Amino acid sequence: MEFFFQLMVQGLSVGFLYALAALGFVMIFKSSSVLNFAHGELLAIGAFIFLVFSVRLNLPIPIAFIFTLAGTFALGFIIERLFLRPLIGEALIEVIMLTVGLAAMFKGLLLVIFGGNLFNYPDFLPKGLTIQWGAVVIQPVYVASFIIGIIFLSVFGFFFKYSSQGIYMRSVADNQPAALSLGVHVRRVFALSWAIASLVCALSGIILGIMNGINVHDISVMGLKVFPVVILGGLESIGGAIIGGLIIGLLETFTGGYVSTSLKEVIPFVVLVFILLVKPYGLFGLVEIERV
Amino acid sequence: MEDNLLLQINNISVVYSDVIQVLKGVSLEVKKGQIVSLLGSNGAGKTTTLKAISGLLKPENGKVTEGSIIYQGRPIHNSAPEEITRLGIIQVHEGRQPFKYLTVEENLRVGTATRWGKPYKKDLELVYHYFQPLVARKNRLAGYCSGGELQMLVMGRALMAQPKLLLLDEPSLGLAPFLVREIFEIIKRINEEQGTTIMLVEQNANMALQIAHYGYVMENGKIVMEDEAVKLRENPDVKEFYLGTATSGALKSYKDVKAYKRRKRWL
Ligand SMILES: Nc1ncnc2c1ncn2[C@@H]1O[C@H](COP(=O)(O)OP(=O)(O)O)[C@@H](O)[C@H]1O
Ligand SMILES: [Mg+2]
């Protein structure tokens, strides 16, 4: 029973990590229909920027964290401006191929700058974060992932639900011509969705880095996990991305705990194939409202 | 020019995809504070004319290739919709284009995009004042609203932007007669009480000419007739072709040869 509980909490916190990463992916897809294949590289960039601030520049951790978020947010804007904006109006496949190119370029840059070694953050998480409950011990990083996940998913949830800017973003995803007719700055919405995506990717990249260490290849491969998550949750739905993330996180952890650790990495993709066969729009994909 | 002129379209041509010419030298004027109606049958180029004004041709690969559009003394025919909307020109698309997955009130809030960050509570109240049925639907997804509610929603959403020139594209399309009367009554009140200048595109010439001050008739990408609305209502040709109340006995066919000759006079 304790083992079950432990896996459950770990699974949920890994799930929040996936949910954050998936949120970034879904945002870009929702606003501009672009599948971002450079997603894993955005995770890696975030993890390395935090490494630079915290280790190389030796800044206090909270400052390094805030700088990383601000930096990756700005980076998202810049990526959209430099690479995506010139392609607005071109065929979607060209834009998607561009993101494949971006992935290769980012990975190359990171390898040139940092090399392919494994790096580690200093052990900065307070030991007090450890949860001990009988024989159950939850490591601080899982608790931190849980907390960060809940905080940021709520923040973005409120942002999209209540803030004007969030409502403009959803209007573009919903009906672009109508949004244009009301003066919504569609290009700005695209840029903002890249900025937010890049920021939430950094968050999950940092957590991944704390869990497993930081390595260009390992982290960018984690970007692939976002596919089972969003396919499960439905590409269009932010709520679905969160639930999809939690389900995949739990599935993985339970498989690792009860079945075998080598199967753990495969399970999300088995789910992916299964879902695509049975429910191609995802469990929580939008039901098209058809009424005139 | 006279100061009470808000919009002036000078002899514009519009071409889609570089080859399909739809407007062939359209000129018209809109005076401040008036309702100007643009009539014509399907495919005449009414929607294209509105899109040329609002800048929404661009996303459809359309372009004003000749002529000019002057709004408050400045040319706007090459501007982007983000700029044009911020000058106070808001177009309401034909066929009601709600944000289906947003609630009614969220739809209305998108109307504040041109003045992000400014207070909008008063505007919401104003919209609910004109479109009372929306109050009860506030928190419902727009995708589940009825046609009449949606027409109110998209017009209310445009009103949230505090437009100086409101471009309405066939607001009566597909609505029951009693709803059409209600909608037109509200359009008239908005014009009178808010001083909003309105350009009203309609196939329902009868209703449109009852509330408009001035009217233009379009055919095949050209303006073929223009006059005070009162006079257009009495014009025998308008009666025959657009009001469906021919005075000379039986209703004549649209493609009638005699009628064609008569219409030629305005070409
Ligand atoms: N995006 C477009 N590309 C090419 N042709 C178009 C486009 N939009 C409209 N047209 C053509 O322009 C003509 C006028 O259309 P429109 O302005 O919508 O007329 P109306 O609103 O009076 O019915 C039609 O023949 C239509 O087929
Ligand atoms: Mg039309």
- SS (HEC) of A151-197: HHHHHHHHHHHHCHHHHHHHHHHHCHHHHHHCCCCHHHHHHHHHHHH
Q: What's residue A226's pLDDT?
A: 87
Other beta carbons within 10 Å of A201: 31
Q: Is B48 in the pocket of ligand 1 (CB under 6 A)?
A: yes
Q: Do B113 and A182 touch (CB under 8 A)?
A: yes
Number of residues in chain B: 267
Residues around the ion ligand 2 (C-beta < 5 A): B 47
Task: Measure the CA–CA gap between A246 and A284, rounded to whole angstroms.
Answer: 13
Rounded CA separation B7/B4 (Å): 9
Judge if the beta carbon of residue B45 lies within 6 A of ligand 1.
Answer: yes
Strands (E) in chain B, as ranges, are: 5-16, 20-31, 35-39, 62-71, 74-75, 89-92, 165-169, 197-202, 214-219, 222-228
Q: How many Cβ atoms from other residues are within 10 Å of residue A42's Cβ?
A: 33
Contacts of B116 (CB under 8 A, 6+ apart): A164, A165, A168
Among B239, B224, B223, B208, which Cα is nearest to B34's? B208
Q: Three-class SS of residue A205?
A: helix
Distances (CA, A) of A186 to B52, B77, B103: 19, 20, 20
Task: Kindly report the backbone phi and psi dihedral angles of residue A283, in degrees, each rounded to the nearest multiple of 5, phi listed first.
Answer: -65, -35
Nearest atom (ligand 1) to Cα of B48: 17
Find the CB nearest B86 among A179, A181, A183: A183
The residues, any chain, with a CB within 8 Å of residue B25's CB and separated by 6 or more, are B11, B12, B13, B66, B67, B222
Residue B56: the pLDDT is 95
Instruction: Please say whether the beta carbons of A174 and B99 come within 8 A.
Output: yes
A175 touches chain B (CB under 8 A): yes
In the reported structure, the alpha carbon of residue A217 is separated from the centroid of ligand 2 by a whole-number distance in angstroms of 54
Q: Among B267, B192, B210, which Cα is nearest to B34's?
A: B192
The ligand placed nearest to the CA atom of residue B16 is 1
Determine if ligand 1 sits within 6 Å of the CB of residue B136: no
Structure confidence at residue A76 (pLDDT): 96
Copy the structure tokens of residue A292.
């005139």
Other CB atoms within a 10 A radius of the CB of residue A184 amount to 25
Say if CB B175 and CB B183 are below 8 A apart: yes
- Is residue B117 within 8 A of residue B175, CB to CB? The reply is no
Nearest by CB to residue A183, choosing from B81, B143, B174, is B81
Q: How far is Cα B114 from Cα B118, in angstroms, rounded to an integer?
A: 10
* Per-residue pLDDT tens listing for chain B (267 residues): 556 899 999 999 999 999 999 999 999 999 999 999 999 989 999 999 999 999 999 888 999 999 999 999 999 998 999 999 999 999 999 999 999 999 999 999 999 999 998 999 999 999 999 999 999 999 999 999 999 999 999 999 999 999 999 999 999 999 999 999 999 999 999 999 999 999 999 988 989 999 999 999 999 999 999 999 999 988 888 877 777 654 444 444 444 444 444 444 443
- Residue A110's nearest CA partner among A49, A64, A67 is A49
Q: What are the DSSP E strand ranges found in B72-142?
A: 74-75, 89-92
Supply the pLDDT for residue B258. Answer: 45
B96 close to ligand 1 (CB < 6 Angstrom): no
How far apart are the C-alpha atoms of B179 and B148, rounded to whole Å? 7
CA distances (Å), B203 to each of A232, B42, B124, B177, in order?
A: 47, 8, 30, 14
Q: Which ligand is nearest to the CA of B40?
A: 1
Supply the pLDDT for residue B250. Answer: 45
B157 to chain A, any CB pair closer than 8 A? The answer is yes
Close Cβ partners of B75 (under 8 Å, ≥ 6 residues apart): B68, B69
Centroid of ligand 1 to alpha carbon of B178 (angstroms): 29
> Looking at the complex, does the CB of residue B27 fall below 8 Å from at least one CB of chain A?
no
Residue B39 CA to residue A159 CA, distance in Å, equals: 43
Intervals of chain A under pLDDT 50: 291-292
Give the SS3 label for residue A273.
helix
CA of B173, nearest ligand number: 2
pLDDT tens per residue, range B142-155: 999 999 999 999 99
Selected residues 42-101 of chain B with any CB under 8 Å from a CB in chain A? 54, 56, 59, 81-82, 85-86, 90-93, 97-101
Kindly give the residue spans of alpha helices, DSSP state H, lying in A1-139.
2-32, 39-51, 61-79, 92-114
Give the single-character DSSP code of A214. B
Tokens of A259: 């079945």
Residue A76 CB partners (closer than 8 Å, separation 6+) = A42, A191, A194, A195, A196, A197, A198, A199
Residue among B117, B141, B157 minimizing CB distance to A182: B157
Q: Which of B15, B21, B47, B224 for a ligand 1 pocket mutation test, highest count of atoms within 8 Å of Cβ?
A: B47
Q: Under 8 Å CB-to-CB from A129, ≥6 apart: which residues?
A: A140, A143, A144
State the residue for tokens 């899109």. B51
Q: What is the atom index within ligand 1 of the atom nearest the CA of B46?
A: 22
CB contact A170 to B (< 8 Å): yes
Tally A–B CB contacts below 8 A. Answer: 90
Instruction: Check residue B31 and give its pLDDT.
Output: 96
* Nearest-CB residue to A175 (from B56, B86, B97): B97
Q: What CA–CA distance (Å, rounded) separates A151 from A20?
A: 11
